[in-house]
Structure 1
Amino acid sequence: MRRTAAALATVLAAGLAGGAQSAAAAEPPTCGTPADHRIAEVQGDGDASPVAGRTVRVEGVVTADFQRPDQLGGFFIQDPAPDRDPRTSEGIFVYSTQEVAEGDRVLVTGRAVEYNGLTELSPASAVNVCGKGRVAPAHVRLPLKGGADLERYEGMLLRFGQKLTATETYTLGRYGEVTVSAGGRLFQPTDGHGTTQAGNDARRLLVDDGSNVQNPDTIPYTDPRVLRIGDSAHGLTGVLSYGFGEYRLQPTEQARFANTNRRPAKPRHVGGNVRVASFNTLNWFTTLGERGADTAAEQERQLTKLVAALRGLDADVVGLMEVENNGDTAVGALVDRLNQAAGAGTYAWVRHPYPGTDAIHVALVYKPAKVTPAGAARSSEDPVFDRPPLVQTFRPASGRTPFTVIVNHFKSKGCDGATGPDADQGDGQGCYNARRVAQAGAIGAIAAESANPLVIGDLNAYAAEDPVELLAGAGLASQTKRFVRPGERYSYVFDGQSGELDHALAGRSLARHVTGATIWHINADEPLFLDYNTEFNPPEFYRPDAFRSSDHDPVLVGLRLR
């Protein structure tokens, strides 16, 4: 049962934080004005304060101080003698610049408000420091039992003793945020890992940096190495805030992440005498100021990283996505730079016979010394394709067995213009799933007429979604599912959830020639500020290497062909 205000006054008179009656004479007179509400009474047992809009006086111990101009403009206090209702929080944020320090016992008068979902006292008309106190962090474990949410801990000092894994770093450079999760990284519910969206949401927590500053001068978790998704920490400690639609842990102790997801210097060995890769380039454009680089300097940085990635793959055939659709200009520029690095004539490209009218198209590069095109390149003029596929049959230089690479980039999940069956159906597959299913059907038909087909590319569909399952039903089996462990089977991270958008699907006749497959995790796990852009990325983080050369990880397949 909650303590009443009268009972609280009795406790205060006795010296809540261990102060004796004789100490009262030494306190400022304002410290003799008792609280009229417990913090738990201000917080209430729901999302909003039951006394919102009223001026209240509460007592607590300062647990975190974020008063600097580049921080949150206030501090957190917590009642050291909590009530017995687990639904009510014992902590609250005070919006005030009056100087306090962690461990101060304070009496605060202020108006109870809901600010963007956070219960706080704002403005605080009086902050009286009345001694010292101590609050131990509450030990919390994700997911909370019984389906409870974090509202019961809003404003409180918490400690998460369990292992929590970084599962999203998209806003690390811009806002100093990283999302962590219990039980390892989060996977997309439609990627076949047995997860649900509700289960994922219960396991995740956003760790903030105690600041609302954009593009901070010092990005957290970059020393002695830059944080990667998959790295993990124990004992995260801080106060729980709320803002921008999410609960946020504002650390009171430096979080330290162990390097539990080391950078892979090279892709895993896949064997075979012919290697085929799929790689989304993230808008390789030679035209500046379009979807790719804005300046010549950015373009050079982007090209350097792409070449490093392609040389690291060392594939004999590479299907590329998101290459500017400007004839041979963009793909030719990429091949020219590859040949500068690898030797003249090492790579060539296949001219797309029908690249479509989209700003980007798929491309295909290969090593003439390793494979030879057999016949002309093909495509499809079916209007179902926004970006028509590129189909080319090859023969290995040292053998006669043909194989056909079918390069794809299916319609994205974005909802712009989606209507009818293309609208989001609420099944987790996003918009335009019906279009992607139709595209998959058309690709299945092309594969059925091709010698030893290998369907590769960014299908914009996760492993357990309808388009991939339709292709599987057409006899095109996932080689990453066959050779890559479930925890490593992802090529993209969206909203903190990993999944496999980039695929390598082999027909039955070719599958027996496959010696291995891997996903080279050089991009999806890397923070955004490591890429080629210069607008906000601190220059000291750029490296002329393969890491964060794109936002998709490349896929690599080995073939043994005679």
Structure 2
Amino acid sequence: MANQGATDVPLAGWSVQYLPGSPTATSAWQVTPLDGAVAANGSFLVQEAAGAGGTTPLPSPDVTGSIAMSATTGTIALVNSTTQLTCKTAAACALDVSIVDLVGYGSAVVRETAPVPGASNTASVARIGSDTDNNAADFLAGAPTPTSGGGGPVPVVARIHEIQGTTHLSPFDGEQVSGVTGVVTAVRAFGSARGFWFQDTQPDADPATSEGLFVFTGSTTPAVAVGDAVTVAGTVDEFYADAPPASSVMLSTTELVGASWTVTAQGVGVPAEAVGATTVPEVYTKEPGGSIEELPLEPSAYALDFWESREGMRVRVDDVRVVGPTTPFNELFVTTKPAQNPTPRGGTIYTGYDQQNSGRVQVLSLIPFAQRPFPQADVGDVLAGETSGPVDYSRFGGYLIQATTLGAHIDNGLARESTRPQRPAELAVATYNVENLSPGNPQAKFDRLAAAVVADLASPDVLALEEIQDNSGPSNDGVVAADETLRRFTDAIAAQGGPRYDWRQIDPVDGADGGQPGGNIRVAFLFNPARVSFVDRPGGDATTPVEVLDGPRLSVSPGRIDPANAAWESSRKPLVGEFVFRGRTVFVVANHFASKGGDQPLFGRFQPPARTSEVQRLAQAAAVNAFAHELLAEDPRANLLVLGDINDFQFSPVMARLTQGGVLDPLINHLPVNERYGYVFQGNSQALDHILTSPFILRPDYDIVHINAEFADQASDHDPQVVRFVPTG
């Protein structure tokens, strides 16, 4: 108990009494007599019997009793006598003038107005403000905070905009608040992060402060409905989805945890703020070279600040175009800025680190899927009409709309592309990331990939594959051979009417090439022996480096570029092959550079985001560039192709390093700017796969074949690409 007055309150002759939550005819109040006084502006701790669990001792109690209280339901009364109470109903106890105060918790029959929920073996209930004679409104369940002989935490009465504040971080983080009023705008009734959003209908005049807030209830569905006016108490928490605050790279979500609430009215409407083409700023974010969390929000200047200033608030977008297709997690990206860097097929092109496309926003759904299945949308489709709901922040980084209303899905009929067949004198070389292909995949995946090779890629003469797994797939069992994977794939291609491809590859050292644990992914060549021959030179293995000999010719074929170089640690090693087409030698380097995993997110707390993974790819690019220089030093007119999943953009330092000295020409730069993509991530159409050619490969015909990345239904998350050319020499 606490005394907020200026004088001591003597307790001699008083008692604390306890009654079970559902008393029977034989139930009796248990009594602990008190003595001493509650100091002015202080507290007084009464310790009752210890339970079976728990090892942390209380602070030194002022009085010790022996009552075994339930952790989940019961009634406790402060009585100005030591006479045992006899009332067993709320009405009867309300008439007993000896009761100074009373709290019922859990499902207690005896309580003031309504019992406070949430007490448990690990959570206590504590008063959070003034006494309104409503236990549910006056007390809050949360972590125990026993206090002896001094003051305890006193909750602050606050408005939502005061809690949200004018930066990404709440000024009340970690503090208890009470009397927080608003109207419920959405309820998340599934998963382990359940809760509800509520919004103040009397906003302040500051555009930087949000009027919405999320109340987290864990795995318990909150007993509220949209339109309920509520008064909420709880503890303010900045939630980071990826890691503890000190190490998180994400922005946080301001929440109330350990909350209790009272419904004061029902059926109250809250209009959604319209977000359109001119609403969100063009500039993505300020870039201080560090965290933006504590910087004042400028919602009229920066897109990230705009969304943060509406965190938890109900917004709407109308007739929005899909720029990121529906994923297996039932999420998609739309753009609020339809004229912002559009691709010819309806996406939004990513052209530079300073062009983040601020119109992008993610959409999820709070509507039960049995009631409204999530739309399976492709890039260029439209969510017609209103899509609305509270603004949230994704566990993967980025602001999103938790839709309570979803626009009607309009299928704009995006078609998958096919490239033209090569002419008799043209050599066709393609690259395709087949996304962890192993014999464990269903036959349907092999068939779809095979059909793409035959119908969409027109059966290229040479095909570099990335993400070929070993014969046991992700089973970490020491298997490294991939002949079953490649045989099954080439059989599927033949069954689709394609050529009977042969293959070449090198088994890696077990566990040395990264990727899915146990999968031993590697790059591999398929080639059509009816059109092209492979020059086999023995000796190439996982650790032997390929060398350029006079001619030029390869010391081993197939071979690996500098496999002992630290640049390739836990990463795929480039595979080099020597081919002959119509009497002319062609050298092909298949690549799968280190992933971008570990980079800070575009939507994160650090701006500009650090690209830590770039360091390894820069070293990998240098190794491949050195090989290209060595080959072209032997013959400047050599036919050399470097291709595959470079895992970086055409404008990146990695591509600049790979092409240094003019030895390689990235063919993507010859396409119109808005067509330079083959991958879609968070609504940005971008390029990670590339084909580069040596300078004397003249008039190459290059095509990125869009069959996957823009579609909800994908065989792989990458689009393949192909180049056709007439070799010189």
TM over 0.5: yes
The aligned residue for residue 57 of structure 1 is 179
1:239 aligns with 2:390: yes
The aligned residue for residue 562 of structure 2 is 382
**In 1, Cα distance between equivalents of 2:261 and 2:536:** 83
The aligned residue for residue 543 of structure 1 is none
The aligned residue for residue 272 of structure 2 is 137
Over 3 Å counting, the alpha-carbon distance change for 1:79 and 1:355 in structure 2 is closer
**In 2, Cα distance between equivalents of 1:374 and 1:74:** 64
The aligned residue for residue 461 of structure 1 is 648
Match of 1:160 among 317, 320, 324: 317
The aligned residue for residue 283 of structure 1 is 436
Match of 1:471 among 659, 663, 666: 659
Match of 2:403 among 251, 258, 263: 251
Over 3 Å counting, the alpha-carbon distance change for 1:195 and 1:253 in structure 2 is same
Post-superposition shift, 1:338?
2.2
Decide whether the 8 Å contact of 1:159 with 1:237 is kept in 2: yes
Match of 2:693 among 506, 513, 535: 506
The aligned residue for residue 227 of structure 1 is 377
1:315 aligns with 2:459: yes
**In 2, Cα distance between equivalents of 1:103 and 1:415:** 42
More helix by share: 1
| Structure 2 residue matching 1:153: 3-state secondary structure | coil
Decide whether the 8 Å contact of 1:493 with 1:524 is kept in 2: yes
Matches within 5 A, 1:108-147: 108-114=231-237, 116=239, 117-130=252-265, 132-140=267-275, 141-143=279-281, 144-147=299-302
The aligned residue for residue 45 of structure 1 is 166
Post-superposition shift, 1:339?
2.3
The aligned residue for residue 407 of structure 1 is 589
**In 1, Cα distance between equivalents of 2:406 and 2:504:** 53
Post-superposition shift, 1:108?
1.1
Provide Cα deviations, 1:341-375, integer angstroms capped at 9, x if missing partner. 327xx3332545x6654534433223344445578
Over 3 Å counting, the alpha-carbon distance change for 1:84 and 1:303 in structure 2 is same
The aligned residue for residue 336 of structure 1 is 491
**In 2, Cα distance between equivalents of 1:177 and 1:60:** 28
Over 3 Å counting, the alpha-carbon distance change for 1:472 and 1:81 in structure 2 is same
The aligned residue for residue 102 of structure 1 is 226
Over 3 Å counting, the alpha-carbon distance change for 1:163 and 1:468 in structure 2 is same
Over 3 Å counting, the alpha-carbon distance change for 1:356 and 1:447 in structure 2 is farther
Over 3 Å counting, the alpha-carbon distance change for 1:306 and 1:123 in structure 2 is same
Match of 1:195 among 343, 352, 361: 352
Post-superposition shift, 1:112?
4.3
Contiguous gaps of at least 5 residues in structure 2: 1-132, 139-155, 240-251, 282-298, 343-347, 471-479, 514-519, 538-556, 599-608
TM-score normalised over the length of structure 1: 0.71
Over 3 Å counting, the alpha-carbon distance change for 1:478 and 1:73 in structure 2 is closer
Number of equivalenced pairs = 471
Provide Cα deviations, 1:358-412, integer angstroms capped at 9, x if missing partner. 534433223344445578655356334652423233324xxx6x35140311431
**In 1, Cα distance between equivalents of 2:691 and 2:459:** 14
The aligned residue for residue 348 of structure 1 is 501
Post-superposition shift, 1:554?
0.8
The aligned residue for residue 418 of structure 2 is 267
1:210 aligns with 2:210: no
**In 1, Cα distance between equivalents of 2:319 and 2:710:** 22
Over 3 Å counting, the alpha-carbon distance change for 1:447 and 1:380 in structure 2 is farther
| Structure 2 residue matching 1:342: 3-state secondary structure | coil
The aligned residue for residue 540 of structure 1 is none
Match of 1:365 among 521, 526, 530: 526
Provide Cα deviations, 1:13-51, integer angstroms capped at 9, x if missing partner. xxxxxxxxxxxxxxxx98xx9996433233333334444
Over 3 Å counting, the alpha-carbon distance change for 1:248 and 1:194 in structure 2 is closer
- Percentage of identical aligned residues: 26
Alpha-carbon RMSD across the aligned residues, in angstroms, is 4.1
**In 1, Cα distance between equivalents of 2:573 and 2:653:** 19
Aligned-partner residue type, residue 441 of structure 1? A
Contiguous gaps of at least 5 residues in structure 1: 1-28, 287-292, 417-423, 531-547
Over 3 Å counting, the alpha-carbon distance change for 1:258 and 1:443 in structure 2 is farther
Post-superposition shift, 1:251?
1.0
| Structure 2 residue matching 1:309: 3-state secondary structure | helix
Over 3 Å counting, the alpha-carbon distance change for 1:435 and 1:369 in structure 2 is closer
Decide whether the 8 Å contact of 1:42 with 1:112 is kept in 2: no
1:438 aligns with 2:623: yes
Provide Cα deviations, 1:107-151, integer angstroms capped at 9, x if missing partner. 413224225144344444342333544322123333352123422
| Structure 1 residue matching 2:647: 3-state secondary structure | coil
Over 3 Å counting, the alpha-carbon distance change for 1:444 and 1:321 in structure 2 is farther
Aligned-partner residue type, residue 499 of structure 1? Q
**In 1, Cα distance between equivalents of 2:436 and 2:194:** 40
Over 3 Å counting, the alpha-carbon distance change for 1:405 and 1:496 in structure 2 is farther
Post-superposition shift, 1:231?
3.9
Decide whether the 8 Å contact of 1:387 with 1:410 is kept in 2: yes
Post-superposition shift, 1:413?
3.3
Larger radius of gyration: 2
Aligned-partner residue type, residue 185 of structure 2? T
Over 3 Å counting, the alpha-carbon distance change for 1:39 and 1:321 in structure 2 is closer
Over 3 Å counting, the alpha-carbon distance change for 1:434 and 1:246 in structure 2 is same
Aligned-partner residue type, residue 334 of structure 1? F
Over 3 Å counting, the alpha-carbon distance change for 1:509 and 1:120 in structure 2 is closer
Over 3 Å counting, the alpha-carbon distance change for 1:283 and 1:159 in structure 2 is closer
Aligned-partner residue type, residue 394 of structure 1? V
Aligned-partner residue type, residue 237 of structure 1? S
Over 3 Å counting, the alpha-carbon distance change for 1:430 and 1:182 in structure 2 is farther
Aligned-partner residue type, residue 395 of structure 1? F
Over 3 Å counting, the alpha-carbon distance change for 1:437 and 1:182 in structure 2 is farther
Provide Cα deviations, 1:192-251, integer angstroms capped at 9, x if missing partner. 954326x5285443322238x9xx8899534xxx22345444653211234635433211
Q: Which one scores higher on RCO, CA 8 angstroms, separation ≥ 6? A: 1
Over 3 Å counting, the alpha-carbon distance change for 1:91 and 1:38 in structure 2 is same
Match of 1:518 among 689, 696, 703: 703
Over 3 Å counting, the alpha-carbon distance change for 1:277 and 1:102 in structure 2 is same
Over 3 Å counting, the alpha-carbon distance change for 1:58 and 1:337 in structure 2 is closer
Over 3 Å counting, the alpha-carbon distance change for 1:486 and 1:390 in structure 2 is same
Over 3 Å counting, the alpha-carbon distance change for 1:219 and 1:434 in structure 2 is farther
Over 3 Å counting, the alpha-carbon distance change for 1:407 and 1:91 in structure 2 is same
Decide whether the 8 Å contact of 1:403 with 1:453 is kept in 2: no
The aligned residue for residue 557 of structure 1 is 723
Over 3 Å counting, the alpha-carbon distance change for 1:508 and 1:38 in structure 2 is closer
Aligned-partner residue type, residue 54 of structure 1? Q
Decide whether the 8 Å contact of 2:639 with 2:727 is kept in 1: no
Over 3 Å counting, the alpha-carbon distance change for 1:453 and 1:121 in structure 2 is closer
Aligned-partner residue type, residue 464 of structure 2? G
Decide whether the 8 Å contact of 2:431 with 2:720 is kept in 1: yes
Decide whether the 8 Å contact of 2:453 with 2:460 is kept in 1: no
The aligned residue for residue 480 of structure 1 is 668
**In 2, Cα distance between equivalents of 1:65 and 1:349:** 56
The aligned residue for residue 206 of structure 2 is 85
| Structure 1 residue matching 2:443: 3-state secondary structure | helix
**In 1, Cα distance between equivalents of 2:442 and 2:388:** 42
The aligned residue for residue 448 of structure 2 is 305
The aligned residue for residue 541 of structure 1 is none
Post-superposition shift, 1:328?
4.8
**In 2, Cα distance between equivalents of 1:438 and 1:261:** 43
**In 1, Cα distance between equivalents of 2:495 and 2:725:** 27
TM-score normalised over the length of structure 2: 0.56
Aligned-partner residue type, residue 208 of structure 1? L
